Every structure is written in structure tokens, then in C-alpha cells.
């Protein structure tokens, strides 16, 4: 389902509400995108969940990470989520199962996260969408997989990702969950905000280009797309 909200703040409110509901599941396992799009929602969630009795049952599994980037780097996916969420809700290290971009055996690192998910199915995923329509680091044209893998990053991703780093950082590959692992989550929210994302939103919903990864999340009853009006300017839909 597609839901269009008046502004980014209302999208953040909806993100927070979804996360609070998801936290109530018996064994909550969240898979969360890093970046600026969901940050306001994470902030609201952190404010409301302080002291929540179910918080110690929560586990968060990695969606993606840059190969060759240490977790302490301000531009790593881990560090962005740590600043936006992990540190604000005082999660223990045992509750966070994250890709290590410096792992000496990348295939083994993918297998480690896959094994965790097999034993602890993802109950809630919150995805952002890249400027080229990628989900996680599944780039356009990349195979739809049911396991994690190493991906060659597109030029678009390499360029856009520079905003997360304090200095020019060479990026070549990423670790990411497969699209099947994401769609297999019990509940998925895909969040897209801002007028700069309007062109890719138009392609996702109005083009026939099946190489756009985000298109493969359409048509599921348990997957909703949450947009603000700015991102949806090319779509003819009602506003929630």
C-alpha cells in the first residue's frame, strides 16, 4: 500500500508508531536502514521507548555496510545508526548483530548474518530508497537473492554516499541483505521523503523498469510505502 503524508514530520510520526507496534511482538528483530530519511522517526522512537519493558528483548540485525570501512567511522552504516538510535536507547552489544566491513572473510561474514536471520526471523524492516532505487545496497540490476552478498557499488551510490563522510572516501563494494530476506520480514515499511527523491519515486511507481530494486517490494500486503508530498509530486494520490 502507498500512503502519502503532508510532510516529513508526519512520516516520522508514522515510523515511530510502526516501531512501537513492532516492539510488542514476541521476539522482535528489527532490520533498519541507516541515513537521513528515517532519522527523525528513530529520534521519536527513542524518546518514547525509554524504560520500555520490551526493549531488552529487541535485536537489531544489519541491513548493509561498506566493505573496508571500520564501524567507528562516522560514515559507516553502523555508526550512523549508533548515533541516531543505538546510543539513545542503550542497547547492549549482544542486541546488535551487524556486518563488519573489515571482516577478513567476507563470504563468512555474510553467512554469519544469514545464520542469525535463519534462527531469528526479521519481524520488522524499515527501508529507505537510494537515488537510483536501491534497497539496502542491492543496486539496479543486481539479482534478487535470499541471502546476504557482496555488491559492486554503482557510481551513483559512491557519489551520494560521500555526504556521510567527513572527507573523500573511496568506496567500491558493500555488504547487503538480499531483497528476498527483506520481503520475507513479517512487516516492511519503505520510506521516501524529499523532492530530490521524486524522480526515482516516479520510476518506481510509473515505469516498467524492472531493474529498479525498490519495484520488487511492490504488491505485498505486508509492505507499505510511506512518502511525503514532496517525494510524491509526480504521483496522483490522496494525502493521509
Indicate the pTM of the whole model: 0.94
What are the pLDDT digits (tens) for 157-211? Answer: 999 999 989 898 999 999 999 999 999 999 999 999 999 999 999 999 999 888 9
pLDDT (mean) for 206-226: 95
pLDDT (mean) for 83-97: 92
CA 212, 197, 221, 43 torsion-angle sign: positive
- Give the CATH number of domain 2-228: 3.40.50.1360
Question: Per-domain residue ranges for the chain?
Answer: 2-228
Name the CA radius of gyration of the chain, rounded. Answer: 17
- Phi, psi (deg, nearest 5) at residue 133: 90, 10
- Pairwise CA distance, residues 216 & 53, whole Å: 36
Give the three-state DSSP class for 189. strand
Query: Cell 560514515, residue?
Result: 75
- Of all residues in the chain, what percent carry a pLDDT higher than 70? 98
- Pairwise CA distance, residues 40 & 44, whole Å: 6
Angle value at C-alpha 86, between 13 and 64, nearest 5 degrees: 90
- Check if the beta carbon of residue 32 is closer than 8 Å to that of residue 72: no
Amino acid at each position: 500500500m502507498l500512503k502519502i503524508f503532508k510532510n516529513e514530520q508526519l512520516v516520522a510520526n508514522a515510523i515511530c508508531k510502526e516501531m512501537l507496534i513492532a516492539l510488542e511482538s514476541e521476539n522482535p528483530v528489527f532490520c533498519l536502514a541507516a541515513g537521513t530519511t528515517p532519522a527523525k522517526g528513530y529520534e521519536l522512537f527513542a524518546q518514547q521507548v525509554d524504560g520500555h519493558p520490551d526493549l531488552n528483548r529487541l535485536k537489531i540485525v544489519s541491513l548493509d555496510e561498506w566493505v573496508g570501512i571500520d564501524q567507528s567511522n562516522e560514515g559507516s552504516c553502523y555508526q550512523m545508526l549508533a548515533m541516531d538510535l543505538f546510543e539513545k536507547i542503550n542497547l547492549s552489544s549482544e542486541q546488535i548483530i551487524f556486518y563488519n566491513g573489515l571482516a577478513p572473510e567476507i563470504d563468512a561474514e555474510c553467512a554469519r548474518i544469514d545464520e542469525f536471520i535463519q534462527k531469528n526471523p526479521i519481524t520488522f524492516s524499515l527501508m529507505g530508497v537510494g537515488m537510483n532505487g536501491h534497497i539496502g545496497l542491492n543496486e539496479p540490476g543486481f539479482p534478487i537473492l535470499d541471502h546476504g552478498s557482496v555488491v559492486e557499488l554503482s557510481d551513483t551510490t559512491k557519489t551520494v554516499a560521500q555526504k556521510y563522510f567527513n572527507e573523500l572516501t573511496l568506496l567500491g563494494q558493500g555488504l547487503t541483505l538480499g531483497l528476498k530476506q527483506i520481503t520475507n520480514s513479517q512487516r516492511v515499511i519503505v520510506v521516501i521523503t524529499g523532492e530530490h527523491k521524486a524522480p526515482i519515486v516516479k520510476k518506481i511507481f510509473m515505469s516498467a523498469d524492472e531493474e529498479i530494486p525498490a519495484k520488487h517490494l511492490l504488491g505485498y500486503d505486508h509492505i507499505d510505502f510511506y512518502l511525503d508530498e514532496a517525494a510524491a509530486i509526480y504521483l496522483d494520490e490522496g494525502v493521509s
